[in-house]
Amino acid sequence: MSDRELLLARLRDAGAEDEEIERADAEERLPTLAVELALGGAGRHSLSHVARESGLQPGFLRELMQAVGRPNPGRGERIFTDEDIETARVIKRLIDAGLPRRELLEVGRVLGQGMAHTSEAVRRLVGNALMQPGDSEYTVGLRFAAAAATSWPR
């Protein structure tokens, strides 16, 4: 079995649906999808669902997610996780406790910038440690997903 076939089998075993795999393949991010699934799964919720579940207004939630560095989803696109719902609920409680939205957005921007720097440093660290000369992207995806599955807290 080729590295690609092994990666596709791992994605299916992790619960990825064919449509999700095809989209990731078209976007040339199959190895990334493997890591996402190993770290807790791909998004299952739309922005409007997260807003409804948390009690936040969709416009504010979109602005907040972008402030912390999350992508701006299209209508109905399911990119958010259960953890995003929990985070949004915490933000709603902070707002209900009297913290101003504008300042929460500013804190989100600062956190997002810090996380971007942290992510880049971790990417270099992990990439240098786990990548080997001659690896295919599928081999790298399998190795990264295996490392994430065995070492990342759930």
Strands, E assignment, the chain: none
Cα–Cα dist 142/35, whole Å: 8
pLDDT of residue 33: 79
**pLDDT tens-digit series, residues 8-44:** 888 888 777 888 888 888 888 777 777 777 666 656 8
144's CB contacts (< 8 A; 6+ apart) are 31, 34, 35, 38, 126, 130
Q: What is the dihedral of CA 111, 113, 117, 119, to 10 degrees?
A: 60
* Report for 39-53, 94-108, 128-142: range of highest mean pLDDT: 94-108
pLDDT number for residue 126: 72
Pairwise CA distance, residues 133 & 137, whole Å = 11
Do residues 105 and 62 make contact, with C-beta atoms less than 8 angstroms apart? no
Residue 141: pLDDT band (50, 70, 90) is confident
Q: Which amino acid is at 60?
A: F
Alpha-carbon distance 140 to 154, whole Å? 22
DSSP structural state of residue 80: B
End-to-end CA separation in angstroms for the chain: 30
The answer to whether 128 and 18 have CB atoms below 8 angstroms apart is: no
3-state DSSP assignment of residue 89? helix
Per-residue pLDDT tens over the stretch 60-113: 999 999 999 888 888 888 888 888 999 999 999 999 999 999 999 999 999 999
Q: In this predicted structure, what is the pLDDT of residue 87? A: 93
Specify the pLDDT at position 153. 56
**Residue with more model confidence, 151 or 114:** 114
Identify the CA nearest to 11 among candidates 149, 147, 142, 152.
Answer: 142
